[in-house]
Structure 1
Amino acid sequence: MGLERYHGVGILGFNSPEWFITDIAAILAGGFAVGIYTTNSPEACQYVAENCHANILVVENHKQLQKILQVEDKLPHLKAIIQYKDVLKEKRPNLYTWAEFMAMGSDVPDTQLDSIIASQRPNQCCTLIYTSGTTGQPKGVMLSHDNLTWTAYATGLHVRLTDANVAQESVVSYLPLSHIAAQMVDIWLTMRVGGATYFAQPDALKGTLINTLREVRPTAFMGVPRVWEKMQEKLKSAGAKSSTVRRKVATWAKGVGLQTNLSKMKGGSTAPASLNYRLAKKLVFRKVRKALGLDRCTKCYTGAAPIAKETLEFFLSLDMPVYELYGMSESTGPHTISLPDAFYLTSCGKVISGCETKIFSPDEEGIGEVCFWGRHVFMGYLNMPDKTEEALDAEGWLHSGDLGKQNTDGFLFITGRIKELIITAGGENIPPVPIEDAVKEAVPLISNAMLIGDKRKFLSMLLTIKCQVNADTGEPEDELTEEAVEQCRKLGSTATRVSQIARGRDNVIDTAIQEGIKRVNDKAVSNAQRIQKWIVLERDFSIPGGELGPTMKLKRPVVLKMYKEQIDNIYKEMVTPKLEPGNGGRHTNFSPVEVLL
């Protein structure tokens, strides 16, 4: 097919055996394996394909093929397109089915491939991971053979994966393989220990993931925070429908589970488990794990975005510790990882052996930029020497752009991201995530919260309500989730739809939200960190809507642009509203939603 050395092989499709085969084949054939997000527009696909000089593009189906055909004339390096699922709806030059592609290899002698493999070196680039472009054009992160193989080896040792000669590890592949987290877990780590990878359905994140988990019963599971939050919502909803006796038993068991696991976390007794714990495990914990398909899972992880403490405590109370890990594409995935005998709530764990962490220019609280060093640090950004120089200093330290601190035991805590820091008109630096998490915990009805206030005189917040998601499109719907309806009933509201709540249409819900925000404001360290105004939007954030990235991470610049009119309306009052003593940030003369009406 004419693949040239150091040219890209783009893969545009959902996780599948063909994805894996293409990725590894591209590397062995001397090209770059390049994942492309299935949610990308034709123009975004064009950018990635052109940036890596892609000779070959492998697409899943007709839908993804159409994206490439729309921009094909703008891809001068493209020589062939392969579609690996469904029947081709049209015949075109240099367009092949998967079967045709596989058949072509039968005429290529092994010696030709062997010579290319023999010429490769550990420090040469083999994979490109494109950042999701939340703050500008995506950057092609260049990862070497050594980056991938060493990181898989070191991480496998760190998390104590079992070699297949003893017992086979199994994972479910469902997160986008264009992302380093999925590639490291699903391909490289699993391959390193001889594990088995099972593929979820393409609509996994729309509700079918649970069915795959129950069927596979993986031994390790990696979920982004939104996946764990969705599981939490489902379990709470199911619990609300249980009988009074079952609810009381569950509440008792969760109390036992939380205290037992918090004691373990703090280095408590290693004596045999108490009678209460053993009973709670038999009556509740095992049943919950089985219902989730995680009854064999000894390694539950979360990463790629911040997770709320309340969610971690919820699963901890069910005797299901969810261990945080932290890293980035530029560090070939993980840098710090929590372990069963070394974890701390809200910490991302300790550094992997062979790597180092440095807190650059710490303030009086020990908070500074988190920097990485080790064999997992990337080569640089493809065709972007200026961006590479910004990320890698002269001593080889990778500057993450994240703010964090380490405690005396070596646990890393991420406190925010430099680019996400809100710097108010008064000059105060405010990390948004802790405040957003606090609001979501105080008001369980809230799905997403985004703090606003950069260069503004006061803080405000955009809120969305938990709603049903269309199983086919992934679009948020107007109908509330069962849990949200239950919350409304407890508060005294009859609302069943977002449209009945948004823009101040439900006084009961407005009051509940304001009371929750007041509780958050009461804990604020300064007036500048209090939320002065808020609005409830008409629809939740989503991947199809553009507000969330492929791993459910909030795309703040996109949200700011999409909701500019609503945000500008919030700040139409030229004078900063004055706080009444003890009113938690509520306006003296008007309600938080009046500015939009």
Structure 2
Amino acid sequence: MSTSTQIHQQTDPAKNQLGNSSDCSSLGPMTDPLEQAVEDGPSEKKRVDELLVGAELAPAQSLWTTEASGSVQLRMDELCPEQPITVHQMFIASIQKYGSLPALATKRGNKWEKVSFSEYYQHCRMAAKGFLKLGLERFHSVAILGFNSAEWFISAVGAIFAGGIMTGIYSTNSPDACCYVASDSRANIIVVENQKQLDKILQVQDKLPHFKAIVQYSGSLQDKLPNLYSWEEFMGLGLEVSDQELDDIINSQRANQCCILIYTSGTTGTPKGVMLSHDNITWTAHHASMAGDMQPAETRQESLVSYLPLSHIAAQIYDLWTGIQWGELVHFAQPDALKGTLIDTLREVTPSAHMGVPRVWEKIMEKIKEEISRCGYMKRKLVTWAMSVSLEANQRLTKDEEKSFLFTLADSLVLQKLRAELGFSCCEKFFSGAAPIGSETLQFFLSLNIRLYEAYGMSESTGPHFMSCSKAYRFLSCGKVVPGCRYKLANIGADGIGEVCFWGRNVFMGFLNLENKTKEALDEDGWLHSGDLGKVDEDGFLYITGRIKELIITAGGENIPPLPIEDAVKQELPIISNAMLIGDKRKFLSLLLTIKCTTNQETMEPTDVLSLEALEYCQRLGSQATKVSDIIGGKDKLVYQSIDEGIARVNSRATSNAQRIQKWIILGKDFSIVGGELGPTLKLRRSVVLQMYNSEIESFYRE
């Protein structure tokens, strides 16, 4: 393995109460704080002007810290010379430009109720005062546990305004997992969505040494408990705190201090608290979104749907912080979005941009395939023709090449209607992030004339460090480095593959209270080591080939990244839902497989019933199977033979004998969040799967 390194860079081309908890717009008219400052005279205008001055930096001796109250040196250089600002300053600058525009939209009954940016800002101030009244201490956290909502956003921004640290907790977390995050972040206040989430905190509140209060933002309180507040009660508390007290705290904040904790999902161990500074958030919201071609509202107000977990950096940057930065209109999906209502919301909203994790895009793909299969013969033939024309055209279309008449005809006659059925009639930008996406999914959406632009980064890089967009797109690539950021490949091998390392204003402050883990992630020069393996082509496009920790090193010493092989198997065998390669320190490779099946819409557990795509696959083989249990254990010889042949085709393309799959097994149940095999962002938890299916794995290697 070579130890050479290549370094690359790219230059830059509420003063009123919120009202009823179920209605964020049930207020009197809100006053723009900047207009009000002019009316209130010179002293108030001076106060607002002071808030807009570029942020001072707190004294710092290092690029990293592990203390919540610590500060860091910023990676400011010729690529990143911009004046650092706090979250509050970013918001003030935005309401100067976008104050009267709608910012947040919530559906109540059959009506979308909207809140303007000026109202949004005032609600955040009132929430900040409420947190102060409840005893929020400086650099302690407000933990938020629940589905995306206006209250989630307002709590997040309000916590930062009040000098606290905003911490998201995954709504799928167990009580013990919630306890860990709340305790580790020294949470004073926990904001919960409903009774279900409240019950988790009530089970563990006695184990939280810094706990002071709980706020519930949706549904009525079933019991009146000490230190438990409804949203209306909480917002009313802010009336008892003066503007001056809040402004003094806001003015004391520095751009190189922590304001957010993002907890890793724990796929490779105990979750770690990723400390992000004001500058991490404000710089990334500006630059990464520009790299993704998101437009400022003065050009065109972007519209999007918020539904992915806000505890994850991808959704938080895309929905919350970029929304403030560019004046976007954010619509909140229903809590059961991932159970099937997301597309209904998309059809109503018709967003201009949409982001999904790979598994969401896969689910949309599966739904479309099912709908096509239900069409009559002629319509199905027409759709199949149009999709094949689009795929061929998109695969060979260069940036400046004009679209053919046939392609234009196929798109206008068929594909536009298909996209409209998904709610994408006005959508111009489609993003995928948080995990690698398979080539089958990418190709399928190209056949709908939809390019999925991959974003690549990590919590420790405040989200995207590389972005694809219409001006920077290559199939299977994560795009190019965000302007203003740098990267290098470390320990490059003969195949040009090395570890991807990051440098830029988006690089995190450190892991909370974890000095050794911080030093593992950041080298002596301050470069963030991703743990991901990748290669870069001659034009600067990055291709991720795997993760170092996921790299399989066989007993014979050969290094094998599992993702390409797993992806190839799923592409050859459309009946397969998940494939996980086994073989670390083993004599040969083996494979765990799951079959595509339906999902219980209430519990989100995989069922025994085959999905329509899997059912049709079986029928084409002449199989009578309708359930997973009809197939497993070798019961269905036709399906087993087909899978064996598909794996043989994958093996025929292997670069060495060590990369051939020798044994495989179909598991009785698909992977899921509920089952524990998938994390909150639907990423495969390999270490968990290894433990859960240890006996099946060991059976491969018994002599």
Tell me, yes or no, if structure 1 residue 298 matches structure 2 residue 428. Answer: yes
* Structure 1 unaligned regions, length at least 5: 575-597
Tell me, what secondary structure is at the counterpart of 1:197?
Answer: strand
- How many pairs were matched up? 570
> For residue 495 of structure 1, what is the aligned residue in structure 2?
625
> For residue 9 of structure 1, what is the aligned residue in structure 2?
142
Tell me, what secondary structure is at the counterpart of 1:517?
Answer: helix
Q: Which residue identity does 1:520 align to in structure 2?
A: V
> For residue 158 of structure 2, what is the aligned residue in structure 1?
25
Cα distance, 1:442 vs structure 2: 0.6
Cα distance, 1:232 vs structure 2: 1.1
> For residue 615 of structure 2, what is the aligned residue in structure 1?
485
Q: Which residue identity does 1:184 align to in structure 2?
A: I
Tell me, yes or no, if structure 1 residue 379 matches structure 2 residue 509. Answer: yes
> For residue 586 of structure 1, what is the aligned residue in structure 2?
none
> For residue 312 of structure 2, what is the aligned residue in structure 1?
179
Cα distance, 1:132 vs structure 2: 0.2
- Map 1:542-553; keep pairs closer than 5 Å: 542-553=672-683
> For residue 95 of structure 1, what is the aligned residue in structure 2?
228
Q: For the Cα contact (< 8 Å) 2:487–2:500, is it kept in 1?
A: yes
- Map 1:154-553; keep pairs closer than 5 Å: 154-264=287-397, 266-267=398-399, 269-271=400-402, 273-553=403-683
Cα distance, 1:92 vs structure 2: 1.5
Return the alpha-carbon distance in structure 2 between the equivalents of residues 282 and 407 of structure 1: 35
Q: 2:169 aligns with which of 36, 45, 63?
A: 36
What whole-Å deviation, never above 9, does each CA across 1:364-420 have from its counterpart, x for those lacking one?
111010001100000000000111111111222110000001111000000000000
Cα distance, 1:167 vs structure 2: 2.0
Q: Which residue identity does 2:235 align to in structure 1?
A: M
Tell me, what secondary structure is at the counterpart of 2:549?
Answer: helix
Return the alpha-carbon distance in structure 2 between the equivalents of residues 475 and 160 of structure 1: 37
Cα distance, 1:254 vs structure 2: 1.8
- Map 1:72-111; keep pairs closer than 5 Å: 72-111=205-244
Q: Which residue identity does 1:93 align to in structure 2?
A: P
Cα distance, 1:236 vs structure 2: 1.4
Cα distance, 1:23 vs structure 2: 0.5
What whole-Å deviation, never above 9, does each CA across 1:77-118 have from its counterpart, x for those lacking one?
001111111121222211111111011111111111100000
> For residue 71 of structure 1, what is the aligned residue in structure 2?
204
Cα distance, 1:295 vs structure 2: 1.0
Cα distance, 1:339 vs structure 2: 1.3
Return the alpha-carbon distance in structure 2 between the equivalents of residues 484 and 220 of structure 1: 31
Q: For the Cα contact (< 8 Å) 2:350–2:423, is it kept in 1?
A: yes
Return the alpha-carbon distance in structure 2 between the equivalents of residues 81 and 214 of structure 1: 36
Tell me, what secondary structure is at the counterpart of 2:211?
Answer: coil
Tell me, what secondary structure is at the counterpart of 1:420?
Answer: coil
Q: Which residue identity does 2:306 align to in structure 1?
A: S
Tell me, what secondary structure is at the counterpart of 1:375?
Answer: coil
Q: For the Cα contact (< 8 Å) 2:293–2:469, is it kept in 1?
A: no
Return the alpha-carbon distance in structure 1 between the equivalents of residues 581 and 178 of structure 2: 31
Cα distance, 1:165 vs structure 2: 2.2
Return the alpha-carbon distance in structure 2 between the equivalents of residues 131 and 156 of structure 1: 22
* Structure 2 unaligned regions, length at least 5: 1-133
> For residue 147 of structure 1, what is the aligned residue in structure 2?
280
Return the alpha-carbon distance in structure 2 between the equivalents of residues 235 and 545 of structure 1: 26
Return the alpha-carbon distance in structure 2 between the equivalents of residues 202 and 469 of structure 1: 17
- Specify which structure has the bigger relative contact order, considering alpha-carbon pairs within 8 angstroms and separated by 6 or more residues: 2
Return the alpha-carbon distance in structure 1 between the equivalents of residues 145 and 393 of structure 2: 45
Return the alpha-carbon distance in structure 2 between the equivalents of residues 485 and 259 of structure 1: 28
Identity of aligned residues (%): 62
Tell me, what secondary structure is at the counterpart of 1:14?
Answer: coil
> For residue 130 of structure 1, what is the aligned residue in structure 2?
263
> For residue 58 of structure 1, what is the aligned residue in structure 2?
191
What whole-Å deviation, never above 9, does each CA across 1:245-278 have from its counterpart, x for those lacking one?
22222222222212222233x44x533x321112
What whole-Å deviation, never above 9, does each CA across 1:536-580 have from its counterpart, x for those lacking one?
1111000111100111100000111111111112222x2xxxxxx
Cα distance, 1:40 vs structure 2: 0.9
Return the alpha-carbon distance in structure 2 between the equivalents of residues 565 and 452 of structure 1: 13
> For residue 560 of structure 1, what is the aligned residue in structure 2?
690
Return the alpha-carbon distance in structure 2 between the equivalents of residues 544 and 563 of structure 1: 16
TM-score calculated relative to the size of structure 2: 0.80
Cα distance, 1:176 vs structure 2: 0.4
TM-score calculated relative to the size of structure 1: 0.94
Return the alpha-carbon distance in structure 1 between the equivalents of residues 453 and 299 of structure 2: 24
Cα distance, 1:244 vs structure 2: 2.4
